[in-house]
Structure 1
Amino acid sequence: MIAAAVAVMLFIVAAIVTVRTFSGVDHYETRIGQISDIALDDGSTLHLNSDSAAEVRFTDHGRKVRILKGEASFDVAHDRSRPFDVEARSAVIRAVGTAFNVRLRPSLVELTVTQGTVTVHSGNDLAQQISAGSGAVIQPRSVSLTHLDSRFIGQRTAWREQMVELDGETIEQAASEFNRYRAAPILIGDTRVSSLRIGGRFRITDSKEFLSALQLSLPIRVVAGQDGSVMLLYQDEPEPADNAAGE
């Protein structure tokens, strides 16, 4: 029953919503559970994660992308005469020929540079250069640089391979990550479940293996709802038979 519910609620589709306006702006949007790779006119590639949207406008003098929601990754074609600018809330990320990932989180923008170098400007903060192997936490008036090892970069960009990579995250964090790709959520029905931790690499197209891993490795019971949602409950240890008989 759990497998059937999971199969209904997880999906990846090839189509993407694309709208070209009279002003020459292309609008791209993915639905929940959809990941799309979009070839842009200049030879660059825009990768959109689940439930994400972006606007693209190219002119003879520049290339501009505005992330409206969600997460996007870029493989930028080299063209010094036309800088490639990505607007993410208050931040402007400029690249010439490079690769990087941008995720809009509730109160900040998370940047990961996987190839080349970008410059970042946010609010009144001076522009900063960020090279491959580094990232940044971008807020309206600050840019905080962080060094990222290859494992952490792989974890942040695993969605490009349609995977979720976990390395000791809490069940609450893991469920939140999987819920980005589900039409009906994984819910936590017991506070004791929230702080348990799990690691592993799981396909986002099929959370059945993730739910199975929870039940095999942790004291968690999975209950499927009729609406396709999944409830995680704490599995108490059964009482020993002799104790139960003595009561």
Structure 2
Amino acid sequence: MPEIVSEEQQRRLSRNIMIAAAVAILFFIFAAIVTVRTFSGVDRYEAALGEIRDVTLDDGSIVHLNSDSEVEVRFTGHGRKVRIVKGEASFDVAPDSERPFDVEVRSALIRAVGTAFNVRMRPALTELTVTHGTVTVHCGNKAQQRVTAGNGAVIQPRTIVLTRLGDRLVSQRIAWRHQMLELDGETIEQATAEFNRYRKAPILIGDTRVSPLRIGGRFRVHDSRAFLSALERTLLVRTVRGEDGSVMLLYRDEESTQASESDRS
């Protein structure tokens, strides 16, 4: 005679089956992740828009990621490889003579053993700044170039141009690591482009007369209000704030000043 199962027993049985199925699904997901990690050997790190992030790698090297940047890291017993996917990254490389530290960016390969350097991807070129030690740069069929501390390179697909920077420009280029922007006579167009790297709502230039004006100073990357205040205080610039958080920069002449005062009254 078949055994009669109560409704309560049926509910418990169904619940146990569902729990077992959920555990099995989680196990397979975890196994898949581990498998991908094991076979690809690639770790990905990124910094969101407005974020500056420091990542310590397995060998003790440190990668500093600027806003809206991403790198891929792959370590083996014979080498350490990093690929810059987008943005800007600065590297403090732990010495290891048996495993060179290679950074791939576009078509270039930058190699270091124990050194520190900064790499920024710009729209049409890559900008290298060496802050400590020496790196080598190889690009396409061009001869390998050595770049020492205090110097840099401008890298394009088939061109490597070495540049002499000096302490002041090196400091300016890596100031972002301390969440600072150092401006030394940059145009407002250049300065706003730097601040916009950290803003969701951009600073816009609404008058071509504003673009070539120049400004200097030291500002926190997330304190664009201080920058805008400095513009209004020291230059013929007025700001108009949008409802979306954006800011329009306009030239402040006599007519615009009178119109602005009329609007306030």
Q: TM-score, normalised by structure 2?
A: 0.82
Counterpart residue number, 2:95 = 78
Whole-angstrom CA distance in 1 between matches of 2:208 and 2:157: 34
The alpha carbon displacement at 1:159 in A equals: 0.3
Counterpart residue number, 1:236 = 253
Whole-angstrom CA distance in 1 between matches of 2:88 and 2:209: 31
The alpha carbon displacement at 1:61 in A equals: 0.5
Counterpart residue number, 1:245 = none
Q: Which structure carries more relative contact order (alpha carbon 8 Å, separation 6+)?
A: 1
Whole-angstrom CA distance in 2 between matches of 1:238 and 1:187: 21
Q: Describe the SS at the equivalent of 1:192.
A: coil
| Residue 149 of structure 1, aligned match among 146, 160, 166 | 166
| Residue 144 of structure 2, aligned match among 123, 127, 130 | 127
RMSD of aligned residue pairs (Cα, Å)? 1.5
Greater than 4 Å deviation, 4+ residue runs: none
| Residue 189 of structure 1, aligned match among 193, 202, 206 | 206
Counterpart residue number, 1:176 = 193
Whole-angstrom CA distance in 2 between matches of 1:190 and 1:107: 26
| Residue 135 of structure 2, aligned match among 98, 118, 121 | 118
User: Structure 1: which 5+ runs fail to align?
Assistant: 1-18, 242-247
**Aligned pair 1:211/2:228, yes or no?**
yes
The alpha carbon displacement at 1:237 in A equals: 2.8
The alpha carbon displacement at 1:24 in A equals: 1.3
Q: Describe the SS at the equivalent of 2:146.
A: strand
Letter matched to residue 149 of structure 2: A
Counterpart residue number, 1:64 = 81
Larger radius of gyration: 2
Whole-angstrom CA distance in 1 between matches of 2:255 and 2:107: 54
**Aligned pair 1:41/2:58, yes or no?**
yes
The alpha carbon displacement at 1:238 in A equals: 5.8
* Equivalent runs, 1:94-113 vs 2, <5 Å: 94-113=111-130
Counterpart residue number, 1:198 = 215
Whole-angstrom CA distance in 2 between matches of 1:28 and 1:237: 50
Whole-angstrom CA distance in 2 between matches of 1:206 and 1:199: 15
Q: Describe the SS at the equivalent of 1:194.
A: coil
Q: Describe the SS at the equivalent of 2:74.
A: strand
Hey, which of these two has a bigger chunk of helix by percent? 2
Counterpart residue number, 2:29 = none
Counterpart residue number, 2:178 = 161
**Aligned pair 1:225/2:242, yes or no?**
yes
Counterpart residue number, 2:30 = none
User: Structure 2: which 5+ runs fail to align?
Assistant: 1-32, 259-265
State the number of aligned residues.
222
Letter matched to residue 122 of structure 1: C
Letter matched to residue 59 of structure 1: T
